[in-house]
Structure 1
């Protein structure tokens, strides 16, 4: 999956957020934007140790490193190691970036859609994906991800924290290979209980999550070819990718 999300402030995304039964919201509210790219801020939802769901604004880059001024950690910034995605086949590899988060710090990222790129340079083809409007509402998607919390004192000597996240990626789904041949994002749904399973903070036996780590279209998607992310004009006909049974 390429590092581009569409989190437009629309009825579908709002309905998905309400359906997640969030108890705690960020003071600044959710982050909305037609394009959110990797290493920028996106809103995530996770379940705390008490089983209550919280929304936080997180840096879309799982691994962070300290930003130091005068010998003091004043913030965290994206690590030099690329980590806006976490591959499914690394989740059970000890010492990998997502190993511990997969066991205890899973999240969802509410979105209206996502973007993919196939090819490079002048041969690159860009495609936006949104949930097919005739599917059961809400017409939005919950991207399955991981998160981490980074704590520091700061120059004011008070406790601060920063949240980071990544999207879990699976092998390319057969229906999506022409749009991105390397991977496809984990997209969850209320319809099959996958959202509740993924967010369950009491679920630490990852064997119970194995069924989620196989490519599956839980929603019908519309593939919309565009010029490029900054020029979303259509350059061809939309293609309907029907949800799997």
Structure 2
């Protein structure tokens, strides 16, 4: 489920980033691409502690960092540096039913390192027998999508012996939604919204009790979508008429 993202430099994505009130951006800029696959780089947004406010409560700012779309990384040691590469364990998505399983890849991140992946759209694959059907989905009317995800940080060393931080992430997936049955039947992505406070809650670092987020793990379409059949994910040539999927 959700094995490809559309992160084009669209007006909707720009508007979403403005709504997310991002204070710090990556030096190399936000990552844009029409066809993004797992293990490639995406831009994520999360809350980063910056100090203290009154009453000893931490203050936070929203920051954007570029991350590998694969939550689990492993060392890629070289003679003069320490970097990281995607683990052999598949982790571009994190299933909702693994979030509260101790020892799972997303257990700690769900409590402390939740993020948003801004996107223009996403792709789904429907398998029927030996046949695969591919669809690209974009919100209708056009807007940015706030994909709910998790992130992790990895401490590396550059060629000068200086400490570095690399980031990785995954998209949280939920049970299937009946309205998406024409494009995928096994799961649905967690897509939040700035309009109903779901984005704000997901990014709130003071929420570390999982039960307070249980309602967000119930499948819900916060946007309507235009689903376009395509020949295959990498070329995304239209195959037939697009159809609408209404929001809840």
* Structure 1 counterpart of 2:47: 47
Structure 1: unaligned runs, 5 residues or longer: none
Q: C-alpha distance in 2, partners of 1:94/1:232?
A: 39
Question: Structure 1 residue 77 and structure 2 residue 85: aligned?
Answer: yes
From 136, 143, 162, the equivalent of 1:139 is 143
* Structure 2 counterpart of 1:36: 36
SS at match of 1:119: strand
SS at match of 1:52: strand
Question: Structure 1 residue 57 and structure 2 residue 61: aligned?
Answer: no
The Cα of 1:122 is off from its aligned counterpart by 6.2
Alignment of 1:52-201 (within 5 A): 52-70=61-79, 74-119=82-127, 123-133=131-141, 139-201=143-205
SS at match of 2:179: coil
The Cα of 1:232 is off from its aligned counterpart by 1.8
Question: Structure 1 residue 243 and structure 2 residue 247: aligned?
Answer: yes
SS at match of 1:197: helix
Equivalent residues of 1:66, 1:73 under 8 A apart: no
Q: C-alpha distance in 2, partners of 1:201/1:97?
A: 19
- CA deviations on 1:160-209 (whole Å, 9 max, x unpaired) are 11000000000111011221111110000011100000000111111110
The Cα of 1:78 is off from its aligned counterpart by 0.1
Structure 2: unaligned runs, 5 residues or longer: 50-58
Aligned length: 239
Q: C-alpha distance in 2, partners of 1:12/1:142?
A: 11
SS at match of 2:200: helix
Equivalent residues of 2:2, 2:189 under 8 A apart: no
The Cα of 1:73 is off from its aligned counterpart by 5.2
SS at match of 1:172: coil
* Structure 1 counterpart of 2:27: 27
* Structure 2 counterpart of 1:202: 206
Moved over 6 A (4+): none
Equivalent residues of 2:83, 2:157 under 8 A apart: no
TM-score normalised by length of structure 2: 0.93
TM-score normalised by length of structure 1: 0.94
The Cα RMSD (Å) is 1.4
SS at match of 2:212: helix
